[in-house]
Chain A
Amino acid sequence: MIAVIDYGVGNLFSIQSSFEKIGAEVVITSDKKIIENADRIMLPGVGAYADAAAKLRASGLGEIVKTEMKKGKPIMGICLGMQLLFEKSYEYGEHEGLGILKGEVIPMKGYIDKGLKVPHIGWNGLRIERENRLLKGCKEGEYVYFVHSYFATNCTDSRIASVEYGKGLTAAVEKDNVFGCQFHPEKSGEVGLRILQNFCNIR
């Protein structure tokens, strides 16, 4: 069973629907016992980093996720949920993340070419940078759907794929039992469903 962590940011109906589509048992929860009993954990997230990080801290859910991660349970973050796995973010100030992965989150503005629009919205191709489990079966250049204005950097030990948007931006990460996508697999058609299936297959 997959526990999708509900900490009050964004709507989780799409994520729930996508797991149901691939036949996975999924529960949207903020209950410590259910999270502890789950086989794997999904950390979703849309919106502002500071707000989400504060909610994870205040609810104690951040600590629970960390504890479960240390036990070896597969954890996956999506979009802001992935960014929260890192040490910190420079989204409107400097904010501490969960520190599960090494690296930090910085704005695209000032990093990518001035002519490019921010947020980076739309379907873009994945560049797979090293062998991994999360993107198994995905071809080079496979299209996935992105919506973001910030991206993870200094994360060479976990980065498995990038996306070309002026520069190569971190698109997916994997380190032991911790996984993350900057894009939205639940909105990336067949390719996205395959990635979610890969996460469900991690033992």
Chain B
Amino acid sequence: MITKRIIPCLNVRNEKVLPAGTGEGAFHAQSPIELALKYVEQGADELLFYDLSTSAEDRKAFMKMMQMVTRSVFIPLTVGGGITKLSDFERILACGGDKVSVKAGAVKYPHLVEEAAKKYGDQCVVLTTDVKMVKGAYHVFVHGQDTGLDAIEFIRRSVGNGAGEVVVNSLNTCGGKGGFDLPLMRKICEEVTVPVIASGGAGTQEDFARLFQSIPKIDAALASTAFHFEDVKIDELKNYLHAKGLNVRHKL
């Protein structure tokens, strides 16, 4: 049967990997390509790259770096950051990205997901949404700001418009290393029929096991800092999950 995916996320600016969350703080010592190669070697199932470039020049360098990544790693690559129009999809696909993650762009340009899904296929469009509980309701956040949009409704609508996968990043748990936001992930899994990728809060191997065991419908788990600073090593995580009877891709 299909395996649960483990996806490291690399937030990149100036060809360096930034910590999760705000994108502020110390750069990671290893280059994005070095980290990517390490993760692939350890058994990562997919990589998510976020382009946090602040200038056109940086963006060019990012694209060049993605081409290098495509030449050196042979697992699925999802690329996001600054995706606001169809030509951004073209740009990402041309440097070897398999899927494109739309985040703020999906909020700002309500037709983007639909148009992209029609042109490139549902499988190419990954909706990534920052979600936080506000007064008992889940809201969509963009750049740390509350949009007031109901997150469940927004995600459901985006999937209806053709988003082929959903990365749900919980700001309730993000950066806390206290485990994934299980109530939110459970809710989203009840609402949509496309793959759901849980993000935010991973700190230990047990967090991953708890996620997959308590929500059988969840497809994948994403983390950045926990992997970058080796709180969790992907190869050890895979062995751990396999030993727990969870279906993961591991060395045969």
Residues of A within 8 A of B (CB): 10-11, 13-14, 17-18, 20-21, 46-48, 117-125, 139, 141-143, 145-147, 164-165, 184, 186-190, 192-193
Contacts and interface: CB of A to CB of B under 8 A. Distances in A.
Query: Residue among A14, A118, A122 with the most chain B CB within 10 A?
Result: A122
B71 A119 contact: no
Interface stretch (B50-58, B116-124, B127-135, B204-212): B116-124
A188 B74 contact: yes
Contacts of A121: 123, 164-165, 195, 219
B182 interface: no
B131 to A, nearest CB: 21
A117 B195 contact: yes
A192 B123 CA distance: 20
B123 A13 contact: no
Interface of B: 1-3, 5, 40, 45, 67, 70-72, 74-76, 93-96, 98, 120-124, 164-165, 193-195, 219-220, 249, 252
A48 B70 CA distance: 24
Contact of B1 (A10, A165, A188): A165
A118 to B, nearest CB: 8
A197 B158 CA distance: 40
A186 B98 CA distance: 11
A13 B96 contact: yes
A173 B252 CA distance: 23
Contact of B45 (A17, A48, A122): A122
A135 to B, nearest CB: 14
Contacts of B40: 189
A124 B67 contact: no
B2 A120 contact: yes
A101 B236 CA distance: 43
B192 to A, nearest CB: 9
Given A47-B120, A117-B193, A123 B3 contact: yes
B151 to A, nearest CB: 20
A37 to B, nearest CB: 26
B171 to A, nearest CB: 26
B121 A124 contact: no
Contacts of A119: 122-123, 164
B252 A142 contact: yes
B195 A13 contact: no
B120 A189 contact: no
A187 B75 CA distance: 4
Given A123-B5, A164-B1, A189 B74 contact: yes
A187 to B, nearest CB: 5
Contacts of B45: 122-123
B126 to A, nearest CB: 10
A118 B121 CA distance: 13
Contacts of B96: 11, 13-14, 17
Given A11-B94, A141-B252, A46 B121 contact: yes
A143 B5 CA distance: 12
B3 A47 contact: no
A122 B219 contact: yes
